[in-house]
Structures are given as C-alpha cells and as structure tokens.
Structure 1
Amino acid sequence: MCKQQYGERIRKLTIDAKFTCPNRDGTLGKGGCTYCNVASFSHEHKTELSIQEQLTQGRERLSTKPSKYIAYFQAYTSTYDEYLVLKQKYDEAIKGTDIVGLCVGTRPDCVPDEVIELLAQYQQLGLDVWLELGLQTANNKTLKRINRGHDFDVYADTVKRARERGIKVCTHLILGLPGEGHTDYLETLNKVLDAGVDGLKLHPLHIVEGSTMAKAWRNNKMDLLTIEDYAFSVGELIRHTPEDIIFHRVTAYAKKPMLLAPDWCAFRWDGLVAIVDDLAAKGGQGHYLKTNLS
C-alpha cells in the first residue's frame, strides 16, 4: 500500500519515548500482562538518546535507505501520558522532511478522545497516521487470564472512535495464548473484522524471561504452538480476511537468552517461510504478498 502511495517502500523507524504502562505502574497493576517483558523487543529504556537521535540512528542502521519513513512509537503504551507531553513527543518525531507517517502503539484502554483528536490533527497535516492497538484476543476469559486489564468492548469502542475520525487501526493478535486453539483464533478474527479494522499484526506466543508465564513454563504448565500449527493457523486467518485489510506482520521473533520458548521463535525467517509455504499450498499467497510487501 505504501509503495503504491509513495512510489517506494516506506520503512518504520522505531522510537522508545520512555512511556510506561498502567498495568505496570500500579494504576491497573504492577505485574503487567502475564506474557510481557517488553525488554524482549526493546531495551527497557536503556537508551538515553533523544527522539531525533533515535530516528537518525534508525536511518543509519538500514542497509537499504529509502527516502521516506514512518515514525513509530513502539515501546510500552505510547498514548499513556498527559496531552501536552504526547504532543511534544509526537511533534519532535515528525520534524524531519522525510517523515511521512506517524504510527502509535498502545493499549485500547489508553486512548481518550483528546488523543484521537490529536492524531486526527496530524492526519490533517498530510501524515499517514496509524493507531496500533494491542488486543491479543477477543476472548474476555483469556483477557482476564492473561491479566490484560480490559475487555473486548473497550477495544471495540476505541476502534469505533478512531475510525470515525478517519484514523487507520492496526490490531495486534497473539496466537497460542493459554487455553486457546485454532477455533478461538478464528472467533477473534471475526469479532475484530466486525468491529472494523484496517490492518493486522499476528504474533506467536513467546515465553520470555521475566514474564509471569515463564514460571508456568518452567513448571511444565504451558503448551506451546509448533511452527507447523502456527503456520496453519496464520494461513487460515489470512484466507478468512478481506483483501483490503493489510497484514503488517504475520510472525515475530525474540532473541535468546531473553527467549525461553518455543525455540523456533529465535529465528527470524523460519516462521515466515513456513507461512509462505502454507499459503502457496492452500491459497492466500496473493493477499499476503500484496499487503505485506507492496
């Protein structure tokens, strides 16, 4: 989609703006979601770099350097602060003339109307704005079990308010959460589609050091997805998704020793290759290639 709009691939530059999370700072709880240790994909706020310095470093790390980028607030809950603080951080991120978009990752219960209006203002300036919502599952029992701190209705309300202002929504879903199977993933997909969505990110459940789930895994109380089961379920979700919805990601990996299990999640390409093989054999490859690679 970005290639069609801008004539080239657009890359995201990730930003750690030192946000926290209401499920970690005591507002909702202190333990966080049971699967979570954000240091598995972030540096746990070890960076002392400013937002502009992080963007510059991100540009330099890319082997192939496009001429346009999206500023991506990724770590923790990137709408969880006072309005003026958020505006200052977002304003800093979009200063560069090569920044054509703003992507903000957050929780569904941390997006008040004033934040939606702020994001809408950036869109009116001509930026490509995405709101990324970590839902993980539409099953309220599972949401409670993983200590998520909100239910599906909160998510659906946030999606409605954002899309009414023309803001595109990308929803994160985790496959392999405790007690869930393939039927649950399809039920979650259907509820998300019914609520309205513009993009999806799919992730296999990782057991990472420092999470509550790590204790259960060490006590042999966790059943984890094999790469084959994950590829099958992702393929089915893609085949059941309308082609106008963009898959921003269909798998994810984490690095050892932070990653405890499953082992296949330590390798960036293994899951992706398995998914592509499933799509090539059973259909859906055209949708994936169009939305993920264009």
Structure 2
Amino acid sequence: MGLDDFVYTLGRYCQDNFGQRVQKLTLDAKFTCPNRDGTLGKGGCTFCNVASFSHEPDTQLSIAEQLTGGKQRLRAKANKFFAYFQAYTSTYEEYALLKRRYDEALQVADLVGLCVGTRPDCVPDTVLALLADYQQQGYEVWLELGLQTANDDTLHRINRGHTFAAYQDAVTRARRFGLKVCTHLIFGFPHETIVDHQITLAKVLDAGVDGLKLHPLHVVEGSTMAKAWRAGRLTPPTLEEYVASAADIIRRTPKEIVFHRVTAYTKMPMLLAPQWCASRWIGLVGIVDNLAEYGGQGTYLTD
C-alpha cells in the first residue's frame, strides 16, 4: 500500500482532473525576497537556503530552457506538467517582469498550468488578477503560500517578517479571485509541539485552503539555523516526532484537500541534520505505516 491509499495526493487530484499524471517542473526565475534584499530584513528566514531545494544546476538557463530540460528528465513519468516557480518569492517583482516570466513558461508545450510559490505578504491584487487571468484562459493555477506556522511567536523567532494576519489577508483576497491556495507548513520548530501543529491546521482550515504541503524542519548549510545547530542550541525533530505530527495532521484534514507533499528531503552535503532527511523515502514510509495503522486523511477532524 502507498500514500495514495490514505491521502488525497496531488497525483490523485491530477488523475481526477486531467486523466493522467502531471509532474511539477521546478524553476529558478532569479527572483529575490523582501527578507533578503533589505526591504524587511537581510539573511532571510532562519531555516532558509534556497540551494537546498533548487534542482536546476545552471541558473543561467532561461525559463523555457529549464522547462525543456525538466520535461526531458521526467518524460518517462508524465506527459503533462506544471511550471513551478519555487525559488524564493515568485510574486515579488515588478508586474511587467512577473508577467514576462509567467508568459515565457506557458509558451512551452505540454504545460497545464502554474504553481507559484510566495510569501503571504507579497501578493498584491494586481498579481492575483494576473494569475486569475491565466486561469480564465484555461490553465490551472495554484498559489503556494509559505506560512510555515500560525504561531506568531515562532514566526518572529524564525525571522519570517510577517504575522498570521498577513496570511489570512492573502488567502481572503486569493479566494476572491478564484485562485487555489496550497499552504506550506513546517513541523519541528523549537518550542512547538503537536498541539501547536493542530492549532495551525485549525486556523489554516478556518481561513480556507485547497492544498497543503508538509515539511520537516531540517538544518541546511548556509542557513542561520546551521549556526545554532553547530552550537548545540537547536535539535531538529526525530523521525518518530515528525511522523507522529504529519500523520496526525493528515487525519485531521478534510478529504477534499489536496496534499502536494507530506515530507521533504535534502541531499548531502547540503543537509546537516537530521540525517533521516537525506532520504526521499524514510519519512514517507514512516507516515504511510502510521496511516495504515491508525487511519488516513479525514479519519478524525476533532479531538
């Protein structure tokens, strides 16, 4: 048995809506972030080093070249694709440049739509209207909001630069434009427990959401957290802790919400800790085993 037997995954969603597998092609559009360029701060969020999730070896390639190369690598897995603007804040730029980047992506054959990763405080109505226009043209558009946690104290500690209220506002406006929202959550921050994760989920569900993406906190080279970890001031979650939280959240999530991801990994030597995050499969197998034993998505939604 696999994850699809217990969770409404993006793979199942694509089969339902496109009748076939659809893969995300990650892009580096050379955007930046207000938490790095000095607008809000410098150094970024304490956990962040974009190189840990960027798979494009040559960032000098154009959008079209990156997509074409990605299609060639994944052609054995799918014939249709999403252009996934993943690196940093993909709505944080002048409108004309954003439109040019998005347009360039959608000119590539076999794309069914866009997945646009960004921060809740960087989605003005002009950009939401642009994304909604692509949707009206027949493309599927997912706005992926990096919330990480609804706990404002934690958001401050990790130098996020916004509060949960900014997320609520972004979701309200995005849904007004008819856009699908996928929210990113990280489990394992210091001072947070499984109860905090449950509270975050409840607030996210209350605000309205169409998809979720779950990540374990892991320490990567080049991040601020790497210094704290080396000094012994930070302990990332164990495999057992993460599996318990992720599976619990999955069981509390309504069955119509799409899980784009339930864990994550980073290759060595970029990864510093925990070592189980070096594997694509360890966390996933643990979650599937837990769901098989205690029930899958929507098994229970309240205590």
Q: Please, what TM-score do these two structures have when normalized by structure 1?
A: 0.95
Corresponding residue for 2:267?
255
Equivalent in the alignment of 1:64: 76
Q: Compute the displacement of 1:65 (Å).
A: 4.2
Distance 1:179 1:46, change over 3 A: farther
Alpha-carbon displacement from aligned partner over 1:225-278 (angstroms, at most 9, x marks no partner): 111111111111010000010110000000111100000000110000000000
- Cα separation, 2, equivalents of 1:61 and 1:226: 33
**Structure 1 residue 47, shift from structure 2 partner:** 1.6
Q: Residue 130 in 1 paired to residue 142 in 2?
A: yes
For residues 44-193 of structure 1, the aligned pairs below 5 Å read 46-62=58-74, 64-193=76-205
Q: Relative to structure 2, which stretch is displaced further, 40-49 or 259-268?
A: 40-49
Of 230, 254, 267, which aligns to 2:242? 230
Q: Using the TM superposition, give the Cα deviation of residue 98 of structure 1 relative to its aligned residue in structure 2, in angstroms.
A: 1.1
Do 2:220 and 2:271's aligned partners in 1 also have CA atoms closer than 8 Å?
A: yes
Instruction: Give the 3 Å change call, closer, same or farther, for CA 155–84 of structure 1 in structure 2.
Output: same
Contact 2:90 2:116 in 1 (8 A): yes
Change (3 A) 1:274 1:254: same
Contact 1:36 / 1:211 at 8 angstroms: preserved in 2? yes
Unpaired stretches in structure 2, ≥5 consecutive residues: 1-12
Give the % identical residues. 68
The number of residues matched between the two structures is: 287
Q: Is the 8 A contact 2:255 2:298 kept in 1?
A: no
Listed one character per residue, the Cα deviations across residues 26-65 of structure 1 (whole Å, up to 9, x for unaligned) are: 1111111011111111169852111110011001111524
C-alpha distance in structure 1 between counterparts of 2:296 and 2:167, whole Å: 27
Moved over 3 A (4+): 43-46
- Is the counterpart of residue 36 in structure 1 residue 86 in structure 2? no
Q: SS of 2:291's equivalent?
A: helix
Aligned-residue offset at 1:96: 2.5
Instruction: Verify the 8 A CA contact 1:205 1:224 in the aligned structure 2.
Output: yes
- The structure whose RCO (Cα within 8 Å, separation 6+) is larger is 2
CA distance in 1, matches of 2:58, 2:89: 17
In the alignment, is the contact (CA less than 8 A) between 1:59 and 1:65 conserved in 2? no
CA RMSD of aligned residues (A): 1.4
- Alpha-carbon distance in structure 2 between the residues aligned to 1:86 and 1:237: 34
Which digits, 9 at most, give the CA deviation of each residue in 1:81-133, with x for residues without a partner?
00111001000000134111111000001100100000000000000000000
Contact 2:114 2:142 (C-alpha < 8 Å) held by counterparts: yes
The alignment status of 1:268 with 2:285, answered yes or no, reads no
Structure 2-normalised TM-score?
Answer: 0.92
Distance 2:56 2:264 in 1: 18
- Distance across 2 between alignment mates of 1:43 and 1:26: 26
In the alignment, does 2:239 pair up with 1:239? no
1:292 is matched with which residue? none
Is 1:283 matched up with 2:295? yes
Q: The residue matched to 1:224 in structure 2 has which SS?
A: coil
**Shift of residue 66, structure 1, vs aligned partner:** 2.2
